[in-house]
Structure 1
Amino acid sequence: MSEQKIEFYKGPAGGWGALRSVTNALLRQDIPVKGAKTLLSANQPDGFDCPGCAWPDRNHASTFEFCENGVKAVAAEATARRAGPALFAKHTVAELAQQSDFWLEDQGRLTHPMAYDAASDKYVPIDWDDAFALIARHLNALPDPNQAIFYTSGRASNEAAFLYQLFVREYGTNNFPDCSNMCHEPSGSGMRPQIGVGKGTVTLEDFEKADAIFIFGQNPGTNHPRMLGELRAASKRGARIVSFNPLRERGLERFADPQDKLEMATLGSTPISTHYFQLRVGGDFAAVKGMMKHVIEREDAAVARGEPSVLDHDFIATHTLGFDAMADDLRAESWPLLVQESGLSEAQIRAAADVYLGAKRVIACWGMGITQHRHSVATIQMIGNWLMLCGHMGREGAGACPVRGHSNVQGDRTMGIWEKPPAALLDRLQQVFGFEPPRENGVDTVEAIQLMLDGKGKVFFALGGNFAAATPDTYQTWKGLQQCDLTVHVTTKLNRSHIVHGREALILPCLGRTEIDMQANGPQGVTVEDSMSMVHLSMGINPPASEHLLSEPAIVARLAAATIGARSKTPWLWLVEDYARIRDKIEAVFDDFKDFNARVAHPGGFRLRNTASERVWATASQKAVFFTHAVPLDTHAHRARARFASQRDTLVFTLLTTRSHDQYNTTIYGMDDRYRGVFGQRRVVFIHADDIRQLGMKDGDWVDIQTVWSDGPERRAGPPQASEAPLGGQRGHEVPSEGAVIQRRADRFKLVAYDIPRGNLAAYYPETNPLVPLSSVAENAGTPTSKSIPVVLSLHVAPVVVEVDAVAA
């Protein structure tokens, strides 16, 4: 554990800092030799797909096709540490609940299936057959299949996800909350009605040809480090890179490629962003609309002067609908309003728009800084409008690039993990497997939590992930989980979700991506789909962490056989003897997977068809659609500021939750956030220095953060432990009782002066997830608004400790 300090980081992203971090990650997991050998197979044609992010693989001929944070993910999975029955025999669940999320996962790989024993408050070993029988008994006892909830993490392979959705639909429900509901759901919800697909339209080859790359609400240096290689190459050939982000992020500023001997030897680096605009949190909509207004003004001026058009009128006339209404709306829009809501000056917005106008091929990338707001769907459609003005859709070197987080989150959706299944998918399942799938939509993540809170969600099954830590309104989520009759988690390592459990609970340990998956017909490979629709094979190369582990496809198949085997026509156990059989069934259901087994055997795999890339628009009108949206003025942040407008002594901030550099989703690899200068700690809140002064506080003060909300119940995160608190700092694993008066509050965070716009804050999740109200979601998508939480700060007052003489007492 590093020393607790705040110290400005002078280096670039990557470079020697990344190499030191890689070494430390392998040493920490006690695998310096095994880890190094394992990494040589990462993202290779005959190796495994990195279990980290979904950024595509650039060069299958390169031996080093991995990044710093990918190494952390691989090392955590290939660790020499084990969390076996001895760990659970030593600790009650109440004792485990006192530990931090970092400590829980740091115990190592789970080795045996475990069942919760209420009498001892401990997890005890259980036989696999007994575990499946227990789950089957609970599921088959439910009067309504919709009382069961089946969550999916983006780590699950295509084969596992396909079997999972098949089993659950044969069982009788579409209750498929998944991690996509919490991240890029608005991307699909915005893009499908606009261009007919819910995925990005570009490939890595397009990055080689783009003149301008715009990045909205994304921090590739931490979340997708291999993307920096593409941005570095674009920068070196003269492409303009324009970043819109509230915080200054080192990965968007400069990057030193650890594989470039000259840069490493000279301590050099490559600039990334040619333009960096620090807008206010949630200001992207207004910024994009402002750029569009500038383009329309330039077009009107050109027409008035008889000069060439700046728009792609052929594209607009041939391929789109809705342009005239949108253009009229842009002409009528107010520049002062756009400036106010974006946090940028008119000159800055116009300068960004001029980069767009000066480029022949434009790519727009975005991350969760765009998708986790109330108006996210409208913002994404505005980005689509903006790209289409000059025809940057379905053109080489141009298009939309929503950068997904988890390694197969896009593939899971392709396989049918969706609570709102298309009728065509259900029809094909019926034809291929001979059953009538349920037609009623299921619940998404937020709706699943509410279902449990209402007492209507009785069984919760998670194929991967850390639901209790990843979700919003933490203590409401915990309360819902604890009301379940049964909670089940398929996982590789111990996490918070195993501590916050139902009346009965199971932990089912599975193989990791790096491990050999031996089935009846020999070692098996699984497939994944990256952010650019490339599907490729992944083969594990390490012996399993324990002889008691099962693969995810095997777990799903054995559960299905135990639960519905008597009434199902699907040969569940036969399918998992050879995963090629599963892929044959995938091919039978999805037309895009024709010759699946043959095509995926090719090094690098194949790309699924993307109709928008071909300028074929699978929308209701068979056209791409320009959408007209007003600037959002009734967000929760607007309401909160209005509520306290007359109280000069109360400052309302907009908080965004974010990862540290030593973190992947809810997995905490360490306590450092190197690029932001934070070491040995996580309970920090980034704030502008002038805001600290206006609060009458000083850099380094400890504060409590409270959500400004008005739905009645409040949630609170209590004080942290001496080292590093568990999620939210809650003591124990109980949640407040019904009717308790509590607050949506996270206690004891250190103020860190940072380069962030005034009125905005940033802090790490999952510690700040208790602050996100369950009912605050993106319109038309249901994604929690974790990037725009209205909050107030107050100076933390440490509890007074009164020492009492034991004898006198």
Structure 2
Amino acid sequence: MSKEPEQDPAAENPEELLDLKITEPKDWAAGIPAVTVAMVDILKETGFVRGMEGLFHMNKKGGFDCSGCAWPDPDDDRSPIAEYCENGAKALAEEATTKKLTGEFFAENSVADLAKLNDYDIGKKGRITQPMYLAKDATHYAPVSWDFAFKKIADELNALASPDEAAFYTSGRTSNEASFMYQLFVREFGTNNMPDCSNMCHESTSVGLADAIGIGKGTVTLNDFYDTDVIIIMGQNPGTNHPRMLSALEKAKDKGSKIIAVNPLHEAGLMGFKNPQKVKGILGIKTQLADLYLQVRINGDMALLKAIEKLLYKAELGNPGSVFDHEFIKKNTTGYVAFLDSLNQYEVDDLAKAAGLTVKEIEQAVELIKNTNRIIICWAMGVTQHKNGVATVKEIVNLAMLKGAIGKPGAGLCPVRGHSNVQGNRTMIIWDKPKPKQLDKLKEVFGFEPPRGHGYDVVESIKAMDEGKLKVFFAMGGNFLSATPDTLFTAQALRKLKLSVHVSTKLNRSHLVHGEEALILPTLSRSDKDVVNGEDQFISCENSMGVIQMSKGMLTPVSEHLMNENQIVCNMAKATLGSRSVVDWDKYAKSYDAVRDVIAKVIPGFEDYNQKVRLPGGFYLPNPAREGKFITEKNGSVVPFNIAPLPKHELAADEYHMTTIRSHDQFNTTIYGLNDRYRGIHNERRVILMNENDMKKAGFSPQEKVDLFNYDDGVERAARLFVVVPYNIPEGNTATYYPEANVLVPINSVAAQSNTPTSKLVTIKIRKHLA
């Protein structure tokens, strides 16, 4: 048994406990407390005038897109009160803060001292105001000019033996315009090493849907939610991760829809909603959301889906033609008979047991969907971050195909993306596996030969760093270290780099785990006014449902030394490529319109981009599957039913399955606060939620201190000093917050086909903490 890499004080949150307080979990989300908490954050970080100006323009037509989740804005009229949620307001408070990190701050605080802070305290320090450089063997970052920064990057990139010794990461916050220019530079430089945050979240969706229906995106619009009979929500916690979805669910309920929630934890935002913009919500009256709550075991979704399909098949046999949409199946699918035969190998009782449910519970779900094809199936990380994530996505497609629940009003597939432009990044060809047609188009428009081989994704990049194959790492946003698996292994890999560069708005832990040299390049946020050549500019983003809309910042930036992401890319490209470039980088640095004009030439669906993006509310990208047309590379115009085995989960007597989750005071790796009020956990993040029966069997008491271990690949990984919290979660299952528990997620435990880290299912052992 080998040990994990030596403990790196900078790599993860300090092993320190705060003052945990526990209250009863909520059975509803939002309400007046959401308004109160949001306003407290805004006033504390931005002040009243700046904060209110930002909130008034957030997600409004002609305003700026929230930098949080990718839930779509209404196509029609938007709320005159607040077209944002509690966590959207917190996101604004984070980026619009008036706190500043100047050269003096970095002179007074060494990298080692900053690393002793937890992620919450690091993030609350403020906005970075000028480029910062950490020289080799230096202990402190120091301010430098933009010219110095671009020359340093250019020198290191041009000194590489091959362009493939560099990797270029992208966060979902990056705009369409900056994303397009970024991938253009990377490809003209000569590599497809473009890991991005999709690799860690919905890559299983992108792969599964592209294989099945020909497009790696969802097929519904927001209006479909108001014209459907049943909404199934799997592996998703909208109350925390996509709170504005609650308004759509409430409206759907008002119109008669039924909701089936599928989740190992009873999440407040799936049970009830107190709408603070309605009188009844202000009065504390909640809308009941889930009509049926199926508390599956972690990764019990595949077993549940197969059980539903088998029971539907039984009902179809009893009344032929009344349950399955045979016309749809005949016209659009292949492999129907073989798929039904595959279901015969399973017994419903066994499937129910594998799912952690009773047959009666599954029968209730079948009754809700049996007699309608107006069904929307939503999902998020609880489905995708498993070894069988792609197969489960395809099983969701199987169910939709049996019912003909796709390509018609009120029906379809709805993967809910977790970051505001992560879908747009991929549309702009931020991808380590670009299609030949995309590369051909780049060559046709720009006149250079793009690299054709596949590049590194996130997991492959980390391994390449560790093996010395990568020398330079450039991150366009994000907090790479805290977002990725196997924290200590990843930190060890990052430290082997010659140069690490991060384009950021605020300080995060990735700045403190670095290569021999490091740069932090401060950029504008979504809410910042972006002025180029004396004119206010706007960018554009794509939401979860394929709508492209403008985003125009309104607030005065905290520093005159910030640079927008598009200009950072163009200046870096100009410095690096020099006279060998065939791209007019100065032209694109000066004009977003010029960028959009060339996007219109390269990316299908963006014709007349500059005109359409200026329409109030933007425009929808083409989506053949939304219209019931399936154009796949492998299967032509038909969708194959996918036959996948049931995942097997065997645990030793002292083992548990762990899933990593967000707290309510969190967006991805950004920690807004230390309270998870919906789950009743306050002032602590180093907790592990356990079933009370498991606690009794193991001899653990409530709030006992424990250490957590994973032993995949014969390596001992440890997350020490956690507190046990009794919780309503299936036996054998546990839950922890990330990034604190990412140290336990093995680098080699990934989803088949998508290579997504399996952050939602990690096998662990729990032992009493030894002081």
> Which band: TM-score by shorter chain?
over 0.9
Aligned to 1:622: 636
1:632 to partner: Cα distance: 3.1
Q: Which amino acid aligns with 2:51?
A: G
* Paired residues of 1:155 and 1:408 also in contact (CA < 8 A): yes
What is residue 112 of structure 1 aligned with on the other side?
130
Question: In the alignment, what sits opposite 2:669?
Answer: 666
Asked if 1:632 is matched to 2:646, the reply is yes
Deviations 1:295-339 (A, max 9, x none): 111112224xxxx43111110111111111101111332223312
Report SS of the residue matched to 1:593. coil
Q: Residue 120 of structure 1: CA displacement?
A: 4.0
Separation (CA, whole Å) in 2 of partners of 1:576 and 1:294: 58
Aligned length: 752
Summarize the alignment of residues 370-389 of structure 1 with structure 2, pairs less than 5 Å apart. 370-389=383-402
Is 1:582 matched with 2:595?
yes
Deviation string 1:464-521 (CA, Å, 9 cap, x unpaired) is 0000110000011101110000000000000000000000100000000001111126
Q: Secondary structure at the match of 1:174?
A: coil
Q: Deviation digits for residues 427-473 of structure 1, max 9, x if unmatched? A: 00000000000000001000000000000010000000000110000
1:647 corresponding residue in structure 2: none
Tell me the residue number matched to 1:26: 42
- CA shift in 2, pair 1:524/1:675, >3 Å: same
**What letter corresponds to residue 121 of structure 2 in structure 1?**
W
Unaligned runs of 5+ in 2: 1-16
How do 1:14-413 residues align onto structure 2 when only pairs under 5 Å count?
14-58=30-74, 59-63=76-80, 64-264=82-282, 266-303=283-320, 308-413=321-426
1:789 aligned to 762, 767, 771, which one?
Answer: 762
How far apart, in 2, do the equivalents of 1:208 and 1:56 lie? 14
| Partner-residue secondary structure (3-state), 1:241 | strand
Q: Tell me if structure 2 keeps the 8 A contact 1:60–1:604.
A: no
640, 654, 657: which one aligns with 2:657: 654
Give the Cα–Cα distance (whole angstroms) in 2 for the partners of residues 167 and 628 of structure 1: 38
Amino acid of the structure 2 residue aligned with 1:257? N
Mapped to 2, the partners of 1:119 and 1:190 lie a distance apart of 45
Q: Read off the aligned partner of 2:735 and give its amino acid letter.
A: A
Question: 8 Å contact 1:326–1:626 — kept in the other structure?
Answer: no
Instruction: Name the TM-score, length of structure 2 as normaliser.
Output: 0.96
Deviation at 1:11, TM superposition (A): 6.4
Alignment partners' CA distance in 2, 1:54 and 1:119: 40
> Contact 2:659 / 2:734 at 8 angstroms: preserved in 1?
yes
Deviation at 1:87, TM superposition (A): 1.2
Q: Give 2:6's aligned residue.
A: none
CA distance in 2, matches of 1:405, 1:232: 21
Q: Which amino acid aligns with 2:425?
A: D
2:688 — aligned with what? 685
1:548 aligns with 2:561: yes
1:755 aligns with 2:744: no
| CA drift at 1:60 | 4.5
Amino acid at match of 1:759: G
SS of 2:474's equivalent? strand
Residue type of the alignment partner of 2:606: F
Aligned partners of 2:274 and 2:280 also within 8 Å: no
- Partner secondary structure for residue 761 of structure 1: strand
Secondary structure at the aligned position of 1:378 is classed as helix
- Alpha-carbon contact 2:745-2:759 (below 8 Å) kept: yes
Matches of 1:338 and 1:12 in 2, distance apart? 30
Of 688, 697, 700 in structure 2, the residue corresponding to residue 694 of structure 1 is 697
Which AA in structure 2 matches 1:543?
T
Unaligned runs of 5+ in 1: 645-649, 715-742, 799-809
Report the 3-state secondary structure (helix = DSSP H, G, I; strand = E; otherwise coil) of the residue aligned with 1:45: coil
**CA offsets, 1:732-773, max 9 Å, x none?**
xxxxxxxxxxx3111111111111111100010000000000
Aligned to 1:740: none
Report if the CA contact (8 A) 2:432-2:456 is conserved. yes
Provide Cα deviations, 1:637-690, integer angstroms capped at 9, x if missing partner.
Answer: 43xx2xx3xxxxx42110000000000000001000010001111011111111
RMSD: 1.3
1:119 to partner: Cα distance: 4.7
**3-state SS in 2 of match to 1:566:** helix
Is the contact between residue 296 and residue 330 of structure 1 (CA under 8 Å) also seen in structure 2?
no
Of 187-196 and 343-352, deviating more is 343-352
Partner of 1:7: 23
Contact 1:43 1:60 (8 Å CA) reproduced: no
Letter in 2 for 1:434: G
Q: Deviations along 1:378-410, whole A, 9 cap, x unmatched?
A: 000000000110100101100000000010000
Deviation at 1:96?
1.0
Instruction: Report if the CA contact (8 A) 2:630-2:637 is conserved.
Output: yes
Q: Which of 482, 496, 501 lines up with 2:514 in the alignment?
A: 501
Partner secondary structure for residue 744 of structure 1? strand
The one of 443, 448, 460 aligned to 2:461: 448
Structure 2: which amino acid aligns with 1:623?
S
Correspondence 1:704 to 2:707: yes
Structure 1 residues 510-659: aligned runs within 5 Å: 510-520=523-533, 522-619=535-632, 620-634=634-648, 637-638=649-650, 641=651, 644=652, 650-659=653-662
TM-score (norm 1): 0.92
Partners of 1:226 and 1:695 lie apart in 2 by: 40
Q: Is the 8 A contact 2:27 2:267 kept in 1?
A: no
Q: Which residue identity lines up with residue 290 of structure 1 in the other structure?
A: A
Query: How many percent of aligned residue pairs carry the same amino acid?
Result: 46
In the TM superposition, what whole-angstrom CA distance separates every residue of 1:510-547 from its partner, at most 9, and x where no partner exists?
00000111112621100000000000000010111100
Q: Pick from 736, 742, 748 the counterpart of residue 769 of structure 1.
A: 742
Amino acid at match of 1:663: Q
Q: Which amino acid aligns with 2:61?
A: P
Q: Using the alignment, how far apart are the partners of 2:373 and 2:456 within structure 1?
A: 43
Report matched runs for 1:694-733 at 5 Å.
Answer: 694-709=697-712, 711-712=713-714, 714=715
8 Å contact kept, 2:27–2:271: no
Give the Cα separation in 1 of the matches to 2:659 and 2:408.
Answer: 34
Q: Deviations over 1:155-175 (max 9, x none)?
A: 000000000000000000000
SS at match of 1:556: helix
User: Paired residue for 1:461, among 474, 486, 509?
Assistant: 474
Q: CA deviation at 1:569?
A: 1.4
The yes-or-no answer on 1:746 pairing with 2:719 is: yes
Offset, 1:627: 3.0
Equivalence for 2:486? 473
Could you say what secondary structure the match of 2:141 adopts?
strand
Identify the range of structure 1 (44-53 vs 763-772) with the bigger mean alpha-carbon deviation. 44-53
Instruction: Give the 3-state SS of the residue equivalent to 1:557 in structure 2.
Output: helix
Q: Distance in 2 between matches of 1:104 and 1:156?
A: 22
Letter in 2 for 1:632: L
Secondary structure of 1:122 counterpart: coil
* Contact in 2 for aligned 1:2/1:671 (Cα 8 Å): no
1:97, distance to aligned residue in structure 2 (A): 1.0
